[in-house]
Structure 1
Amino acid sequence: MSQSQTTLATSKTANPHTSHEIDASLAPPPPDTTHLDRVLYLFGYPIAHSLSPLFHGTVFSNLRLNYTQYLYESRSLSSCLALTHDPKFLGASVTMPFKVAIIPRLDFMTPEAAAIGAVNTIWWKTDQDGRRALCGTNTDCIGIREAIVRNVNKDKVEAMKGNKGMVIGGGGTSRAAVYALKTFLGCAEVYLVNRDKSEVDAVMAECSKEDFGDGLIYVSTIEEAESLQAPAVVVSAIPDFPPKTEDEIRTRKVIEILLGKEEKGAILEMCYHPSPRTEIAALAMRSGWQVVPGTQAMIWQGFEQDRVWLNKEVNELPVEKVKAVIAAKLARSHL
């Protein structure tokens, strides 16, 4: 794993997370932690469907740790941060709408989080002088990398270096996907395909600001798609809705053309809720692509979180047990 994941790279203003009032109307009561040795949380809204507590709970129980991760569904970031001052607090997963909003409230960020501009994992770190820092990282990019590297033929992964990649979508996951394709997998150029040009412009600007924006190409027309070389690897990060508007229909056609070229690679379909059987996955399979389900990215980003929180390498974690538990849960939910 990347050593920079645990490097404190970007300093923030000291203790900014203590300066905001808590909106009690948005803050659910904290859970009872008296029976636990350590406690973790998932902060965000809405999060009721999340598999995160099951995932991490399986890790903790198999390591015989008296730890629990609670869903803390709140619209108040301050109420979430108040829980980090519990002496039993070990760390938290952070999801929407707080992935960006939490950044000014941190003391440090890792290089991945700073480059992507979003945080999904926090924890406290104490230096040799006893000073504590609230740290943040982004494990989404690690999940994307590992989902591809661990599921795709080694020769095909090697062929991604210097080749073309493609990211479908323009939301927050798109930045993590571009970062993973360029920084970890070595793609020289990345096609960006999305119905909304303004979202792509924002992604390109943010990536360029953080020095991984070279070689990003917005593909908006059928003619452009027909003229381009096929990508070797694709990350799809859009919801599973059938195209209805003119822009959506044109974008879907662009995707069909790029996936329909003679050269075939691997596509990571990040959407798996409510079902991994998405229209993009079906289109890719019909076109002869290897489809890696988004649950793989979820699993490997989760193991990276546990690596950070527990200070254990992934090979020390119950990987196969967790994968079996998550697979069984998803199989029941998709019946």
Structure 2
Amino acid sequence: MAAVENSNSLAQTNQQQPPIEEPILSPSHLDGVAYLYGHPLLNSLSPPLHQTIYNALQLNWIQLPLSSVYGSSSTYPPPYTRSPPIDKFLPNIRANPKFVGSSVTMPWKVSIMEHLDDLTEEARQIGACNTIYIRQDPETGRKLLVGTNTDCIGVREALRQATPLSSNPDAFRGKPGLIFGGGGTARSAIYAMRKWIGCSRIYIVNRDAAEIEAILHEDRKRASSSLQQVPIIPIMTPAEVDQLDEYPPVIVSAIPNYPPKSADEIRARAVLERFLSSSSPPNEGRVFLEMCYHPLPWTQIAELASGHGWNIVLGSEALIWQGIEQARLWTGRDIVSVPGLVPKIKDFVAGTIEAKAPAVKTNL
């Protein structure tokens, strides 16, 4: 799972810079190679997170960021990264006997799907692929590249381990949920709320009405299933919040950590604040998952929700659990059952974030 990013500014920057391609590396001294495919990748915690797992499992593997850096720290825009096009990436990994799997991030999460051999239910329902793993065709023995989405696993596990779900997995079943955002992370959260959390309906709040309509349009196009029976309901104004008969005890925020500036951003923030200040359910029963973890997981919105008495779950938790699921698919090992490994992963992520904090605060 990539950090929630400002896709508009990224797209503008990419248009300004020529693509730079480098060879797709597969170091000869390694037994297995996973990739991180997409851009920008400069601040990704995925490679060191996976290295923590490989080291613990005594695997001679690595995850390589597959991109080239352009720009410099002394120029504006700051350095960004570019990855090779799909038509170069996929033939390379098909032919590579050391390839074990790949993380997929912006801008390839949607466009790569049609080029893969198969997709899981998660990828189809969410409409995005963040993970490629290998499956052997039982009849031909051919190596198949399968796309899935583990971001939803990250959302599920981050919520499941939060109060009150940690003691009662069905605490939110039959109750509404709320998504704040309209991008790929919001789609993963919708799937998790429908599939595992058991929400009765899902409210969605976003600055861009067109993004909400895109989510609704995609949802209508999918094959009818029990998931689609859980409606997605846009909420556009604080007055609409006041008219609801039941407020959500679980909220997932999936937007970048920027203060609202435009009229639509200010409106969306006001709607969120109205939800946060609702008096029902009791404070101790409410969970707020802040999916943005870059540059730091404790965001302005997390602070706002905390001030209204919500239990805060940080996006770094979702990052950890989606990575653990990727490692399970790639290694074939139950990562959670390895003694001491999950605490080690959590200590690494917490330590990395803590080390970045002084530099981030200095630049604010």
Judge same fold: TM > 0.5, yes or no: yes
1:165 aligns with 2:177: yes
**Residue pair 1:43, 1:93 contacting (<8 A) in 2 also:** yes
**Residue pair 1:181, 1:187 contacting (<8 A) in 2 also:** yes
2:273 pairs with one of 256, 264, 272: 256
Aligned to 2:210, what secondary structure does the other structure show? helix
1:68 aligns with 2:62: yes
CA separation in 1, counterparts of 2:291 and 2:220? 24
- 2:137 aligned residue: 127
CA separation in 2, counterparts of 1:245 and 1:116? 28
1:321 is aligned with what amino acid?
K
Aligned to 1:159, what secondary structure does the other structure show? coil
Shift of 1:156: 6.0
1:207 aligns with 2:219: yes
**Residue pair 1:72, 1:80 contacting (<8 A) in 2 also:** no
- 1:16 aligned residue: none
Aligned to 1:158, what secondary structure does the other structure show? coil
CA separation in 1, counterparts of 2:156 and 2:170? 13
Which shifted more, 255-264 or 152-161? Answer: 152-161
- 2:156 aligned residue: 145
**Residue pair 1:159, 1:232 contacting (<8 A) in 2 also:** no
Q: Kindly report which structure 2 residues correspond to 1:165-314, keeping only aligned pairs within 5 A, or say none.
A: 165-210=177-222, 211=224, 212-213=227-228, 214-228=230-244, 229-262=246-279, 263=281, 264=283, 265-314=286-335
- 1:43 aligned residue: 37
Identity, in percent, stands at 43
Aligned residues: 312
Shift in alpha-carbon separation, 1:126–1:156, aligned structure 2, 3 A: closer
**Residue pair 1:230, 1:259 contacting (<8 A) in 2 also:** no
Structure 1, residues 209-268: CA drift from partner, whole Å, max 9, x if none?
334344211000111012222211111000111111111111111101111011231011
- 1:92 aligned residue: 102
Where in structure 1 do 4 or more consecutive aligned residues deviate above 4 Å? none
1:268 is aligned with what amino acid?
L
Shift in alpha-carbon separation, 1:156–1:205, aligned structure 2, 3 A: farther
CA separation in 2, counterparts of 1:133 and 1:29? 23
TM-score computed with the length of structure 1 as normaliser: 0.89
1:322 aligns with 2:316: no
- 2:70 aligned residue: none
Shift of 1:149: 0.2
**Residue pair 2:26, 2:33 contacting (<8 A) in 1 also:** no
1:77 pairs with one of 83, 86, 90: 86
CA separation in 1, counterparts of 2:237 and 2:160? 31
The Cα RMSD (Å) is 1.6
Shift in alpha-carbon separation, 1:145–1:32, aligned structure 2, 3 A: closer
Unaligned runs of 5+ in 2: 1-17, 68-82, 359-364
CA separation in 2, counterparts of 1:168 and 1:291? 15
2:351 is aligned with what amino acid?
A
Structure 1, residues 130-186: CA drift from partner, whole Å, max 9, x if none?
122111110000110000001222356422101010000001111111110111100
Aligned to 1:256, what secondary structure does the other structure show? helix
Which shifted more, 153-162 or 293-302? Answer: 153-162
CA separation in 1, counterparts of 2:52 and 2:92? 23
Shift of 1:25: 5.3
Structure 1, residues 94-116: CA drift from partner, whole Å, max 9, x if none?
00000011111101011111111
**Residue pair 1:236, 1:270 contacting (<8 A) in 2 also:** yes
Structure 1, residues 32-72: CA drift from partner, whole Å, max 9, x if none?
51000111100001111101110000100111110000000
TM-score computed with the length of structure 2 as normaliser: 0.83
Aligned to 1:261, what secondary structure does the other structure show? coil
CA separation in 1, counterparts of 2:275 and 2:40? 34
CA separation in 2, counterparts of 1:258 and 1:104? 38
Unaligned runs of 5+ in 1: 1-23
Shift of 1:75: 4.7
